Structure 1
Amino acid sequence: MNRFALILFAFALPVAAQPLKPPAMQEDTNHDAPWVWQTGSWLRNVFAPKPPLLQLRAPVKLEDYLAGDKLELSLRNYLELVLVNNTDIEISRVTIETQKNAIQRAFGVFDPFVTAGYTTTRSTQPTIDQLAGAATLSNLNQPFNFAYNQTLSTGTQIRSSFGWNRLSTNNAFQTTNPAYNSSWQMGFTQPLLRNRGREIARLPITIARQRLRGGQYNVEDQVIRLLQNAEIAYWNLIEATEALKVQEEGLALADKSLKRTMRELELGAVSALDIFQPQQTYASAEIAVTQARFRVAQSEDQLRRQMGADLNPRFRTVPIVLTEAVLPPSNDTAFEKEKLVTTALERRPDLRNARNDLDVDDLSIRSAANALRPNFNLTGNYTTQGVGGDVYQRPLLAPPGTPLQLVSRGGLGGSLDQLFGFGFPIYQMGLQLNFPLRDRRAAADYADALVTRKIDALQVRQAEQNIRLDVLNRINQVENSKASVKLAQVAVDFAQKRMDAEQKKYDLGTINIFFLLDAQNALVNARAQLVQQSLQYRRNVVNLLQSTGTLLEERNIVLEK
C-alpha cells in the first residue's frame, strides 16, 4: 500500500503543481503561452512564430450621419464618432495592454520547468596495480537524468528527479557488467520565515493587478480629457460658424449703406467726400468675413481630426453641419459648491489613481518587510535506488585470466524493478538557516518603501487641494459666463434699438451716415460678443464636468473595462 501511494504521489506532482492561471484576457489581448503538450501551438510559437499582423482599423460610422452632401452631427453623434475613431483615445486604450501582460508575467514564477540530459563518455587509461582489474582499464559511462521543478502558490518548492546510469567496463573485479544504476528522488523546500505563505508568494501578482487598476484609472482620466478637448472643438466650430454669420450680416448692412450712399451721391444729396466712410466700412466688413471663413475652415479641420474624418479622403472636404443650439439653456439654479467638490473628490479618476498608488505602496512595504526576515527553510527528500545488469562470479583464488562465470542476466528493467520495489530508500529531513548579521540593502529598501508611501500620501493631499481649487474656479467661470450671456443679450437688444433709431433719424435727414454706420458696427460687435459669451459658457460647462469627474456620466458614455 505504501509503495502504491508513493508512485501515485510522484506521478501526481506535475498535475497537482499546475501553474496558477491569470484571469481571462479580453479579446485580442490573450497572449498566454501554450503548454508543451499542446504540441502544435508550442512548436509554432517557439520555432515558427508568425509575424504580427498590424492592421489599423479605418474610421467607421461616418456614413451613418451623411445628410445629402453634408455631415450633420449633434453633440451626441459627434462624441460617438470621437470614441470609435479618435486616434489618441485608441492609443490610451492600447497602452493598458502592457499592464495586463504584467499580470501574466507575474504568474511566471509558478511556471514549472523540466531539465533533462544525456551524456556518453568512453575512457581508456593505463593501470599500475593488479587490483585495477585490467592492464588497460576501459570504461563506457552513459548517464541520463530528468528533473521537474516548480514553486507552488504557498511558496513551497517541489522537485522530482529521475536518473539512471549504464556503466560497462573491462575491469575483472566488476561483478555486474554492464551495470545499470537508477535513482528517483522527490523533495520539497518550505520557507518558514521569508517568503512564507500564499499572500507573500502572490505579492507580485497582487501588485501587478493593483497597478492594472491604476492604469485603468489613468486611461479613464485620459479619455475624459480627450473628450473634453473634442467637445470644446465642437463648440469652437459652432462659434466660428455663428461668428461668420454675424460678420456676413454686418457685411450686408455695410453693403446696403454703401449702395444707398452711392445713390444719394448720384442724386447730389451728399458730398463726394461722404462716400469714403461707407466704402471703408464695407472693406473692413469684407476683411472680417474673410477672416471668419478661415477660422471656420480651421475649426472644421480640427473637428475632422477629432472624429477621424481626416483619415478618409471622402470626408476631408465634406461640409459639416452642427445641430446644437447656440444660446445656452436658461438655468438660474445656483451651484452647491461643497457638493460638487465632494463629487469631484469621489469621482475624479486621477485622484483615484493617486489613492491606488497608496495601496501599491502598502504591498511594496510588505514585500520589503518580508526581505528583512532571515531565510529559514524546512527541507525534505525521499530517494529510492535500484541496480541491475549481468551478474558474474569470479573465484577469489583463481589465477589471472580465469574467465568469469555468468550467474544471471539483467538490465535496465531489473534496475527499475528494484527501484520501484522501494527496498533501498533514503529519507532526509532538515532545516536550513541563512541569517545575515546585518542586511543594509534590505533595510534601505524598506526605508525607501516607507518614504515612497509618505510621498504618495502627500501627493494625494496635494491632488485633493488642487481639485478643490479647480472645481471652485470652474464654478466661478460658469457663473461668470452665465452672467455675461445675460448682459450680452441686453447689449444686443440696446444695439438693435439704437440702430433702428439711427436708421429713422438718417431717413429723416437729421443725422449723417457716420452715426448710422457707427450704430451698425455696434450691433455687429454686440452680436459677436453674444456668440462668444454663449459658446464660452458651453466650454466652461464642459470644463466643470471634467473637473468634477462627471463628464462621462453627463454624456451617457460608459467605458469598457
Structure 2
Amino acid sequence: MREKRTATKRHKIHKAIVLCIFCLFVANFSVFAADVNPTPDLELLSRGKPVFPRLWNAYRPIPLPPIDRSNGPKVSRYIKEGKLAPSLSEFMQLVVENNLTLQAARYNYLIAQVDLLRARSGQAARGVPTSPLPAAMFAGAIGAGVGNISNVGNQGTGGTTITAQARQVFGGPRGIADPTLSINTSWDHVVAPLNSTRVSGVSTVATNSAVLQTRFQQQLPFGTSYSVSYNMQRQMTTQARILYNPAYTSWFSLDFYQPLMNGAGRAITKRFQNVAENNRRSLYLAFIGDLTAALQGAAGTYIDFLASRERQRVAERALALAETIHRSTQQRIEVGTMAPSDLITAELQVATARRDLIIAQTNTQLLEVRLKSLITKAIGPDTANIPFEPTDELADIQETPTDPVDVLVQRRPPNNPGVRRAQITLENDRIAEAYTRSALRPTFSVFGQVNAHSLGAGANPMFRQMLRYAYPEYGVVFQLSFSVKNRAAQADNLRARLEVQRQEVVVQQTLANVANNIRTAVANLTQMGPQVEAAHRAVVTSQEIADAEQVRWKLGFSTLDNVYQRELDLVRAHVAETQARANYAKAVMAHEQATGQLQENHGIVFEDALRGTLWKGPAVR
C-alpha cells in the first residue's frame, strides 16, 4: 500500500512538471514564432521589453524594420502626362518622404531612445551624435563604470572548521538599477594527504562537495544598494571524527549599503538617465534643424532650376533673333545693300548664341538630375527618363504676411530649436556640475549585514536551523575616506563650473544670432522686392531700345554692331531680372525659415516627418 501511494505521488509530481513546462512554452511562444510586425514603438526602445509574462523577452534582440530602399508612394502621384510636375510645396513634401539625409537623421533620434534605455539600466550613457556627454560626468573615475556587480561568494560553503572566531566586516556598493541574479553550482572531489592522524584519524582525506551559490542584488535610486545571498553545500569526507557525514551547510546573507555624503541622492545616481532624457529632447530639436536645412536647400535647388529654365528661354530667344538677323543679312548681301564682311559678324553672333543656349541647357539638365536625387532614394528607370516640369514659376513665390520685425525678434528666439538645444546642453552641464560638487565631499557610508548559518546531517535540519536563525551574525560598518588635498575633485568641479559659464555665454550668443538672423532675413526680403521691380523696368526699357534699334537697322540708319549690342543688353537685362526674382524667392524661403513658418506654409507635419516609416506611435519630446 505504501509503495502504491509513493507511486501515485510520483505520478502527480511528474504531471505537475509537465504542466509547468507546457505553461512556460505557451507564455514564451513568441520566442519560437517569427515577428509579424517588426516595427517597434519608442516606448519599447527607451524602456526595453517587459520580462513578464514572457520570461525570455529580455534575452532576445528587439526587432527593427529593414531599411526601406524604395521610393515612397507620393512620387508616382505627381507624374502627369509623362512628366514629373510638382509645385514647390509638393516638391518639399517629396523631399521629406524620400531624402536620404533626413532618413539618416531619423536614426539619431532612435539612438537617443536606446541611450536612454541603457541609462535606465544603471549603466553610463554613451552619448548620441551631436550631443556628447559632459566630460565631468566621469569625474574621479578611471573608465566609465557607474555600478558594481559583485559575484557570488563562498561563505558557508567551505570545509567545516573546528573553531570559530570573530571577523572584520567589509562593505561596498552592490548592483546597478537593473536587478542582477547570479547562480553558481559546482561539484568537487579532493584527495589530500595529511601529516597527522590526531585530528582526522586518517592519513589521507577524500572529500566530495556539491555547492549551490546564489545572489540577488540591485541599486535603488537614492544610492542605496542591497544584496540577498544564499549558499548551500553538501559535503562527504573520509575523516573519522566528524559529527555529520554527509554534512549540509548553508549561509544566508542580507546586505545593504548607503552613501551618506559623496554619491548620495537621486540626482547623483540618476545623472546619466537625466542627461540621456535631455539628449533625447535635444535630438528631437536637432531634427527640426536638419529638416529645415534640407527643405531650404531643396527649395533653393528648385528655385535655381526655375531660374535656369528662364535663362534657357532667354538664350533660345537670343538664338532665334540671331538666326533671323543672319538670314536678313544674307538677303541684303544678295541685293547689294550690305557688305559680305557683315555676314561673318552675323555668323559669329549665331555661334555665340548657340553656345550660350547649350550651356543653359546643360545647366538645366544638371539641376534636373539634382532635383530628382533630392526626392528619390534611387533614380530608377521610372523617374530617370521623365522630364521634370515644375508647376510653379519664380513669379508665383511671394512673401507671406508676418508680424513686424520687433515682434518677431521678441517672440521667436526662445522657441528657436537652436536656442533650446543650447539650453539643454546647459542643463547637462549643470547636472555634471552637481555631480562634481558632490564628489568634493568625503566618502562616508554605512554598510549593514545580517547573516544566518546552519549545519546539519540533512537538508531538513539545515533549513530548520536557518528559519529559526539558530546561528546569527550581524554587523554594521561605517566607512570614511577622503583625500587630504582633494585637488583632483577641486579641478573637476572647477572645470564643470567653467563649462557651465561657457555654455551660458553660448546660449546668450545663440539668442543674439537668432535675433540677427530674423532682422537680416526681414531686411533682405524688404530690399529684394524693389530690386525685382527695378530689374523688370530695365528689361522693359532694354526691350524698347532693342526694338527701336532693329527698326533703324531695317531702315538703314543703324549698323549691325549696334543691333547686336542692344540685343546683348536685352539678354543681360533678362538674366539680371531672372537672378533678382530667384534671389527674392530665396529670400522668401530664408524669411520663412527665420520666422519658423517654413514647414507650416508648405503643408509639412513635423511629427510625420520625424517618424517616417521607422517606428509607430507618436514621438516623445
Q: Which runs of 5+ in 2 are unaligned?
A: 1-39, 123-176, 608-618
1:226 aligns with 2:294: yes
Deviation of 1:240 (Å): 0.5
For residue 69 of structure 2, what is the aligned residue in structure 1?
A: 57
Deviation of 1:365 (Å): 0.6
For residue 581 of structure 2, what is the aligned residue in structure 1?
A: 534
Deviation of 1:169 (Å): 2.6
Rate the CA distance shift 1:344–1:67 in 2: closer, same or farther, 3 A.
same
d(CA) in 2 for partners of 1:147, 1:329: 70
1:68 aligns with 2:115: no
For residue 510 of structure 1, what is the aligned residue in structure 2?
A: 557
2:485 aligns to what SS in structure 1?
coil
For residue 16 of structure 1, what is the aligned residue in structure 2?
A: none
Greater CA drift, 152-161 or 77-86: 152-161
Q: Tell me, yes or no, if the aligned pair for 2:253 and 2:449 is still in contact at 8 Å.
A: yes
d(CA) in 2 for partners of 1:332, 1:39: 57
Deviations 1:241-290 (A, max 9, x none): 11101111121222222222222222233332333333222222111111
Amino acid at match of 1:420: L
Amino acid at match of 2:79: L
Amino acid at match of 2:544: K
Rate the CA distance shift 1:262–1:131 in 2: closer, same or farther, 3 A.
closer
For residue 112 of structure 1, what is the aligned residue in structure 2?
A: 179
Rate the CA distance shift 1:273–1:175 in 2: closer, same or farther, 3 A.
closer
2:248 aligns to what SS in structure 1?
strand
Structure of greater Rg? 1
Deviations 1:188-223 (A, max 9, x none): 112222222323221210011112222222222122
Q: Which runs of 5+ in 1 are unaligned?
A: 1-23, 390-410
For residue 189 of structure 1, what is the aligned residue in structure 2?
A: 257
Q: Tell me, yes or no, if the aligned pair for 1:162 and 1:184 is still in contact at 8 Å.
A: yes
d(CA) in 2 for partners of 1:54, 1:341: 44
Deviation of 1:337 (Å): 3.3
Q: Tell me, yes or no, if the aligned pair for 1:59 and 1:312 is still in contact at 8 Å.
A: no
Question: 1:269-284 counterparts in 2 under 5 A?
Answer: 269-284=337-352
d(CA) in 2 for partners of 1:182, 1:523: 102
d(CA) in 2 for partners of 1:348, 1:468: 10
For residue 238 of structure 1, what is the aligned residue in structure 2?
A: 306
d(CA) in 2 for partners of 1:183, 1:335: 76
d(CA) in 1 for partners of 2:266, 2:402: 54
Of 518, 521, 529, 1:474 maps to: 521
For residue 491 of structure 1, what is the aligned residue in structure 2?
A: 538
1:340 aligns with 2:408: yes
Of 269, 273, 290, 2:358 maps to: 290
Q: Tell me, yes or no, if the aligned pair for 2:42 and 2:113 is still in contact at 8 Å.
A: no
Question: 1:171-182 counterparts in 2 under 5 A?
Answer: 171-182=239-250
1:94 aligns with 2:145: no
d(CA) in 2 for partners of 1:529, 1:167: 99
For residue 26 of structure 1, what is the aligned residue in structure 2?
A: 42
Greater CA drift, 186-195 or 527-536: 186-195
Question: 1:124-523 counterparts in 2 under 5 A?
Answer: 124-308=192-376, 310-327=378-395, 336-389=404-457, 411-523=458-570
Q: Tell me, yes or no, if the aligned pair for 2:535 and 2:580 is still in contact at 8 Å.
A: yes
Q: Tell me, yes or no, if the aligned pair for 1:194 and 1:375 is still in contact at 8 Å.
A: yes
Q: Tell me, yes or no, if the aligned pair for 1:59 and 1:311 is still in contact at 8 Å.
A: no
d(CA) in 1 for partners of 2:252, 2:539: 97
Of 54, 59, 81, 2:94 maps to: 81
Q: Tell me, yes or no, if the aligned pair for 1:121 and 1:142 is still in contact at 8 Å.
A: no
Deviations 1:221-245 (A, max 9, x none): 1221121111100000000011101
d(CA) in 2 for partners of 1:306, 1:288: 27
Deviations 1:70-98 (A, max 9, x none): 10010111011101111111111112322
Rate the CA distance shift 1:317–1:27 in 2: closer, same or farther, 3 A.
farther
Q: Tell me, yes or no, if the aligned pair for 1:100 and 1:212 is still in contact at 8 Å.
A: yes
1:327 aligns to what SS in structure 2?
helix
Rate the CA distance shift 1:42–1:362 in 2: closer, same or farther, 3 A.
closer
Q: Tell me, yes or no, if the aligned pair for 1:345 and 1:464 is still in contact at 8 Å.
A: yes
Q: Tell me, yes or no, if the aligned pair for 2:183 and 2:213 is still in contact at 8 Å.
A: yes
Deviation of 1:39 (Å): 5.1
Rate the CA distance shift 1:329–1:197 in 2: closer, same or farther, 3 A.
closer
d(CA) in 1 for partners of 2:41, 2:431: 24
d(CA) in 2 for partners of 1:331, 1:162: 75
Rate the CA distance shift 1:555–1:88 in 2: closer, same or farther, 3 A.
same
Deviation of 1:331 (Å): 6.3
For residue 12 of structure 2, what is the aligned residue in structure 1?
A: none
Rate the CA distance shift 1:27–1:493 in 2: closer, same or farther, 3 A.
farther
d(CA) in 2 for partners of 1:325, 1:294: 20
Q: Tell me, yes or no, if the aligned pair for 2:437 and 2:493 is still in contact at 8 Å.
A: yes
Rate the CA distance shift 1:329–1:166 in 2: closer, same or farther, 3 A.
closer
d(CA) in 2 for partners of 1:83, 1:416: 67
Amino acid at match of 2:90: N
Rate the CA distance shift 1:27–1:168 in 2: closer, same or farther, 3 A.
closer
Deviation of 1:333 (Å): 7.7
Amino acid at match of 2:107: V
For residue 155 of structure 2, what is the aligned residue in structure 1?
A: none
Deviations 1:149-189 (A, max 9, x none): 11112221111011122232333332222221122222211
Deviation of 1:299 (Å): 0.8
Deviation of 1:362 (Å): 0.8
Q: Tell me, yes or no, if the aligned pair for 1:499 and 1:520 is still in contact at 8 Å.
A: yes
d(CA) in 2 for partners of 1:335, 1:276: 59
d(CA) in 2 for partners of 1:354, 1:332: 29
d(CA) in 2 for partners of 1:36, 1:232: 53
Q: How many residues align?
A: 513
1:245 aligns to what SS in structure 2?
helix
1:379 aligns to what SS in structure 2?
strand
Deviation of 1:330 (Å): 6.8
Q: Tell me, yes or no, if the aligned pair for 1:347 and 1:549 is still in contact at 8 Å.
A: no
Q: Tell me, yes or no, if the aligned pair for 2:189 and 2:208 is still in contact at 8 Å.
A: yes
TM-score norm. by structure 2 comes to 0.76
Deviation of 1:37 (Å): 8.2
Q: Tell me, yes or no, if the aligned pair for 2:322 and 2:346 is still in contact at 8 Å.
A: yes
d(CA) in 2 for partners of 1:44, 1:442: 41
Rate the CA distance shift 1:330–1:36 in 2: closer, same or farther, 3 A.
closer
Q: Percent identity?
A: 23
Q: Tell me, yes or no, if the aligned pair for 1:384 and 1:419 is still in contact at 8 Å.
A: yes
